[in-house]
Amino acid sequence: MKLFLCQTCGNVLYFENRACERCGHRVAFLPEQETMSAIEPDGEAWRMLASKGESRMLCRNAGYDACNWLTDADDATGYCRACRHNGMVPNLSDPAQLAGWRELEVAKHRLFYSLIRWKLPLRTRHEDHEHGLIFNFLADDPNSGERILTGHDNGLITIALTEADTIERERRRLEMGEPYRTLLGHFRHEVGHYFWDVLVQGGGKLEECRAVFGDDSIDYGQALQRHYADGPPPDWQQTYVSAYATTHPWEDFAETWAHYVHIVDALEMAGEFGMEVRPKVDRDGELTARIRFNPYEARDVEALVNAWLPFTFAMNNVNRAMGLRDLYPFILSPAVVGKLGFIHGLVQDVAKSASRPGKA
């Protein structure tokens, strides 16, 4: 994630800002240029100070204070590049459900920031009726007792609204024995399943992926039952990034995908703040890291990991000094780094292809 500047006063802007905190100017995110722009009324539209006075519409979900993005120039839906992938949303006349939906949208927009940075293929359900990416945000039914489960099915990602409840999410984290459970983590994991379909199965990479993650043709339902009955193998940290990743190759891929996005986006944010890690007691430089490259365009996964490990060692210990859980409570074994490298190759192949002359 980047830091941005207000075009009217030069103050720092953050991704979720609706207005500059210094001058009060209204601001919005312009996905076409991957930047925040100060905006001024221009009839029903908004003139963008970051784009030579061009005008755009604010996303329709800005009316619910659930979005701060501008629509694309050729948009005919009234929704921004992230919100046009929405399917079902909760009952917005219910204040509690509206508040929960806003929390989900914060995480979803951060997800889309990364997907747009990499120029990953994003087809809506309108563009691809069978396989387009669509999000349903659903609340449990108190009358029937139906409990919504977060998951992915052929491009349809369902996010349970109850996950926006911090207390309930923490209860589930403890119940599942997870070291980490966040809304952003859910989004990044579930979209990993979607891109397995698009980039692996649909991109002719199935055999290469199986060589790294294992045979995905094994029965998923049985694998899931076995995982919940027996748990992960005792030595799982040698080859998997999380206990849940041991369930099935699909989950291993999705978990590794999510961690790849965690690492890249957090490193970009740290680099934007000029963070360096140089421990006074580190005589051989093993715990020293400087983020002097664009993590979204890293030459290889080793560059990312070499910066990430010292950074997380430092931040984990800062968190402990505040009595908080570790920022990143995971181990990146050589086998896991290899899996991250496979994800890196998939993503960078798309990004490089999209950047070639003649590509949109």
C-alpha span between 182 and 83 (Å, rounded): 20
Q: Enter the tokens of residue 251.
A: 């989950």
pLDDT in single tens digits along all 360 residues of the chain: 999 999 999 999 999 999 999 999 999 999 999 999 999 999 999 999 998 879 999 999 999 999 999 999 888 899 999 999 999 999 999 999 999 999 999 999 999 999 999 999 999 999 999 999 999 999 998 888 789 999 999 999 999 999 999 999 999 999 999 999 999 999 999 999 999 999 999 999 999 999 999 999 999 999 999 999 999 999 999 999 999 999 999 999 999 999 999 999 999 999 999 999 999 888 887 889 999 999 999 999 999 999 999 999 999 999 999 999 999 999 999 999 999 999 999 999 998 877 665 544
C-alpha span between 174 and 200 (Å, rounded): 33
What integer pLDDT is reported at residue 286 of this predicted model?
81
Q: Helix, strand, or coil here: 264?
A: helix
Contact (CB, 8 A) for 159 and 137:
yes
C-alpha span between 55 and 48 (Å, rounded): 6
What integer pLDDT is reported at residue 206 of this predicted model?
97
Q: pTM for this structure?
A: 0.95
Q: Helix, strand, or coil here: 72?
A: coil
Question: Domain segments of the chain: what residues?
Answer: 1-79, 82-189, 205-360
Q: Enter the tokens of residue 182.
A: 């966040």
